[in-house]
Structure 1
Amino acid sequence: MEEVISFKGILLILKRRLVTLIMAVLICTSTVMLITYVFVIPKYSSEIDLVLGFSSESGHETLEREMDQLNFNITMLDTYDNLLNSPAVLAEVSADLEGGDYSIKKLQDMVSMSREEKSQIFTIEVIDSSPENAKQIVEKVVSVFQTKVQELLGSNQKISIIAPATVNSKAISPNAVLNMISGVIFGLLTGISLILFTEFMDKRVKNENFISSTLGYANLGVVSTINLRELSVRENRK
């Protein structure tokens, strides 16, 4: 006959093994935080905000033509994203950077572009293990990118910087708070699983209900325990 434990029974088991559960949480959380602060290399980001405009040749653009140019610029941002991560830009950046192994492949993993929908403003971001290097690299990337846009896509494409790069000393990864929460949750799950597994594998007789419900035998009686003090008191009464 299979043993069925109710939710209340599980809570009682966890309460009885509370020390084991706390130890599992502490061990898992400590391990995760040790990995976070000792073995994981922190990453820093630096970014530059830019706006895409256009140069008017006549200086007397109509509103309709300006709207057409605006829509064209927005659709061009996808092209700019591809150009930004292409060897045409990153090969020159890699050649100009000193003091580190910045191959084209590595730069492609470090450099990214983001933008809001239907907006001419976009952001170029670089992530590196050094906040100073991240700032230096993003400035170099933007400089080369602006030049390549003029060379490859025409002089009417105008990209202006609206927010320059800064040194961000706060690491974006690893996220210590998130990792700590993950460690606590993992510790709880590990502890609960370990406690329940141990409890289910333990076939010792814990109470009289175990005999009838689990083993299927009739309960004929209970042998009570008595300590030495009670035994001596009874002996003295005789």
Structure 2
Amino acid sequence: MTPLTAPGLPPWPPLLVDPTRGVALVSARHATWRSFEWAAKTTEFCVWVTCCGIAIVILTYFPHPIPLVRAFGLLIIGGIAFPIVSALVRHNVWGPLARQLFCIRTVVEFHPEAIVIRSPLYDQPVVVWRSWNGQPVQTRFMVEPDHAATAAAENANPKRKYSKEHLRGGLMLFVVVSTQNQMSEGGIFRAIPITEISTTLAAKFTMVCTAAATLTRLDRQSEQARTTRGVDIDADHV
């Protein structure tokens, strides 16, 4: 598969296409609000370990014979060093941990017959078919506020040392499938969650997925049998 670039198409997430098979792939590692929450807990542990290390250094290199003077020196030096070191650790560790260590991977495969979703939301790949009872299924991608992130923001400790912007900006990316039933006035609509995502990345991911869906539509591909592995979204075990 080869990367596809186009005017107006963001460079992230990368869009890979195989024109001969009519297949497109969107795969990206990205942080979510849960990534930042896990990173906050890990960062606090790092702060605790760092401050303990500083205390050990102070006790080792300032061995005053009078215990009271030694304790007083520890309080003075620690009182100055601990807040500074804690702020530096939180500032430099929290973000990188969330984006690198606790990030997740979301993969969306686009075939003329189906869209395959691989996401931490599901134990197995999920297949969304692009036709139903002989009718083409229309797909579009949209984002909505993540209710779990909103609840976490409301229940967060007001004295917490970390910003809540990632909680307020937590979104859920959906693929909306719809069919127009000629025997009824309206169509059938269904929103299938794809992944948790942040506000800063949601628009880019949505744009690239929309482009991939357009490139792999059935009416743009030759009719031929293809096999797609995965789990049907309507199967009993999903």
Question: Considering the TM-score relative to the shorter chain, is it more than 0.5?
Answer: no
Give the number of the structure whose alpha-carbon radius of gyration is greater: 1
Greater relative contact order structure (CA < 8 Å, 6+ sep): 1
Q: TM-score under structure 2 normalisation?
A: 0.31
Q: TM-score under structure 1 normalisation?
A: 0.31
- Structure with bigger helix share is 1
